[in-house]
Structure 1
Amino acid sequence: MAAKDELGRRGEDLAAAHLSGKGLTILERNWRCPLGEIDVVARDGSTIVFVEVKTRSSSLFGHPLEAITTVKLARLRRLAGAWCEAHPGAGGRGAHIRIDAVAVIAPSGAEPVVDHLEGVF
């Protein structure tokens, strides 16, 4: 596995642990369909949460959240719709959806920093 892929996987693991620690239930990770991939799908009470995770080893070239563009968020919204279509009834009656972003800065040999923004789109 390439170093970039390993860093991304580590970031997704840290993001999932962070979300679980906040009381969210992880439903799926790396869900794929023809439109693309959702990094994490979780439940927060009656809300289904679709999470985009961005990981960097440092903020030297900007914060990871800066890589989440409006185009990427629009694609994630379409992916959220596709996930809901593929999982009818998963949210239960009256469920809501939310799109979150998690940024992970995971420097080698140092404690990672996880930033979680709720309802970014």
Structure 2
Amino acid sequence: MKAKDELGQRGEDLAAEHLARSGYRVVARNWRCPVGAIDIVAHDGPTLVIVEVKTRRSDAFGHPFEAITPAKLRRLHLLGSAWLAEHAETRHPEVRVDVLGILWPEYGEPSIQHLRGVC
């Protein structure tokens, strides 16, 4: 596994733990369809949350949130719609997109920022 992929996986693991500690119920990880992949699907009470996780070693090339472009947000909406279509038996009164930005230096503890409802 490439170092970048390994860092991303570690970041997603940390994000899932963070969400669980925050009261979310993780229902899927790395869900894939022809449109792409969702890092984490979770419930925050009755709300279905599509979670994008961005992990970086540093912010030397920009904060992880800077990787969330308008095109990425459109794709996340498409992915959320695809997930809902595949799981039509489950009703969700609300759906939102959250982003977790993780800075995880090679030496040191990671920091997590959680943006709720980016769209």
TM-score computed with the length of structure 2 as normaliser? 0.97
Unaligned runs of 5+ in 1: none
Output the CA distance in 2 between the equivalents of 1:70 and 1:64: 14
Residue identity in the other structure for 2:113: D
Unaligned runs of 5+ in 2: none
SS in structure 1 of the partner of residue 62 of structure 2: coil
Residue identity in the other structure for 1:58: S
RMSD: 0.8
Q: CA deviation at 1:118?
A: 0.4
Q: Residue 35 of structure 2 aligns with which residue?
A: 35
Q: Residue 108 of structure 2 aligns with which residue?
A: 110
Output the CA distance in 2 between the equivalents of 1:96 and 1:33: 22
1:32-71, aligned counterparts within 5 Å?
32-71=32-71
Residue identity in the other structure for 1:53: V
Number of residues paired by the alignment?
A: 119
In the TM superposition, what whole-angstrom CA distance separates every residue of 1:32-71 from its partner, at most 9, and x where no partner exists?
0000000000001100000011000011111000001010
TM-score computed with the length of structure 1 as normaliser? 0.96
Output the CA distance in 2 between the equivalents of 1:95 and 1:19: 20
In the TM superposition, what whole-angstrom CA distance separates every residue of 1:17-44 from its partner, at most 9, and x where no partner exists?
1111100000000000000000000001
